[in-house]
Amino acid sequence: MAAIGFDPHDHSACISSTLRQAETYCAEHKLKLTPIRRRALEILLAEHRALGAYDLLSHFAAEGLGSAPPVAYRALDFLTSAGFAHKIEGLNAYIACAHLGSDHAPAFLICTACKSVAEAETEASDGRLGAAARAAGFQIDRIVVEALGLCPTCQDAA
Amino acid sequence: MAAIGFDPHDHSACISSTLRQAETYCAEHKLKLTPIRRRALEILLAEHRALGAYDLLSHFAAEGLGSAPPVAYRALDFLTSAGFAHKIEGLNAYIACAHLGSDHAPAFLICTACKSVAEAETEASDGRLGAAARAAGFQIDRIVVEALGLCPTCQDAA
DNA sequence: GTCGTTGATGTTATGATATAACAATGGAGT
DNA sequence: ACTCCATTGTTATATCATAACATCAACGAC
């Protein structure tokens, strides 16, 4: 389980690299990474934490892009459908995917204090829950695995 | 992983038995299962599916209990803190606990069509996520594991 | 007993999250 | 040039949740 964690790292490199991957993916799958969608992804990548739809929207507004809620929700829908971003249910917030390219069932460690998020790839709960689902005849569309708590930094601050 | 699933069963028996367990637990832990809290639990148990706070509230209103949102949210806060109910993050809804008594990390199979919910006890993701968390120095307060999809009945209906 | 504390409830108002519905635009393919 | 259809713009509204403060009842200290 490779976790991209709470350690500092080179943001600008991971931003540009992820954007390139997203462009490639869109080209291959006939999806359109329009300016507003691309900008949404850039913002999520730059923040590197979970942002609410309205947080994203105020970035848009500040930049002269659309400022009504559907603008943000549509961009987020696109990004999440394409797998470029994930919704953090426990925070009603959204974050750029940290494992673009791998078809994964994400699991998150979420700091409720600073809203930073570590994304881990999981097969575990897929396996167990998947087994329970098969036994029950349940058809899984989406899996949510989130651990809410405090990151090392916020523990120290407390 | 024992799942209480989508099969029919004796509701009235599981309602009264769970209420008795809740009463016992409250007595032991000096918690007050006040009329409105008790009624909230009864309603959740009777519905046997995820209810929104405002769904619960309309039951209250119909019965002459408080009808302002905080009434429902306070009852739900109490029930979830005590472990008598769980929040389903994927639906912004609440459901009675199906494993009262065991100190568990719940996992859910959630039908997005009819909102019925199967609760399974999980150790799996606790183990994996817990390991990742320890490695990262992350302090887990709460774990959310939810599989969203279609129950057997709603698959047939589709 | 009565006083003060504490926790529960009632109530108003507001904040935060999300979507419905429809109009306008603009590019891709013919 | 035209049509189709996805995208975007915009208004309005639905849905979920909490802040803040008043009231009230239970209970222990004295």
- pLDDT digit string, tens, across residues B78-89: 999 999 999 999
Predicted pLDDT of residue B84: 97
| CB within 8 Å of A40: residues ≥ 6 apart | A56, A60, A72, A75, A76, A79
Eight-class DSSP state of A56 = H
Give the pLDDT band of residue B130 (cuts 50, 70, 90): confident
Q: Domain for residue B1, yes or no?
A: no
User: Is residue A2 in a domain?
Assistant: no
Which tens digit of pLDDT belongs to each residue from A82-138? Answer: 999 999 999 999 999 998 877 778 899 999 888 889 998 776 555 677 888 888 899
Quote the number of domains for chain A.
1
Residue B3 lies in a domain: no
Q: Answer whether any strand D atom is within 7 A of the Cβ of B45.
A: no
A95 CB closer than 7 A to any strand C atom = no
Q: What is the DSSP letter of B65?
A: S
For B37, residues 6+ apart whose C-beta sits below 8 A from its C-beta are B75, B78, B79
Which of residues 35 to 54 on A have a Cβ less than 7 angstroms from any strand C atom? 52-54
**Residue B106 forms part of a structural domain:** yes
Residue-wise pLDDT for A31-89, tens only, equals 999 999 999 999 999 998 999 999 999 999 999 998 999 999 999 999 999 999 999 99
Whether B2 is in a domain gets the answer no
Which residues constitute the domain of residue B125? 8-157
Does A82 map to a domain? yes
Phi and psi of A10, rounded to 5°?
-85, 95
List CB contacts (< 8 A) between A138 and chain B: 6, 109, 111, 118, 147, 149-152
DSSP characters for B91-155? Answer: TTEEEE-SSTTS--EEEEEEETTT--EEEEEESHHHHHHHHHHHHHT-EEEEEEEEEEEE-HHHH
CA distance B35 to B38: 5
Tell me, yes or no, whether A24 lies in a domain: yes
Q: Are A105 and A125 in contact (CB under 8 A)?
A: yes
CATH code of the domain containing A93: 1.10.10.10
Distance to chain B for A26, nearest Cα, Å: 26
Best residue in B115, B138, B148, B156 to probe A by mutation, most A CBs within 10 Å? B138
For residue A54, say whether its CB is under 7 Å from any atom of strand D: no
Asked if residue B72 belongs to a domain, the reply is yes
Q: How far apart are CA A24 and CA A100, in angstroms?
A: 11
Q: What is the CA radius of gyration of chain B?
A: 16
The verdict on a CB contact (< 8 Å) between B89 and A144 is yes
Alpha carbon distance A25, A27 (integer Å): 5
CB A41, CB A26: distance < 8 Å: no
Q: Considering CB atoms only, which of B120, B131, B139 is closest to A132?
A: B120
Nearest residue to C8 via alpha carbon and C1'? B34
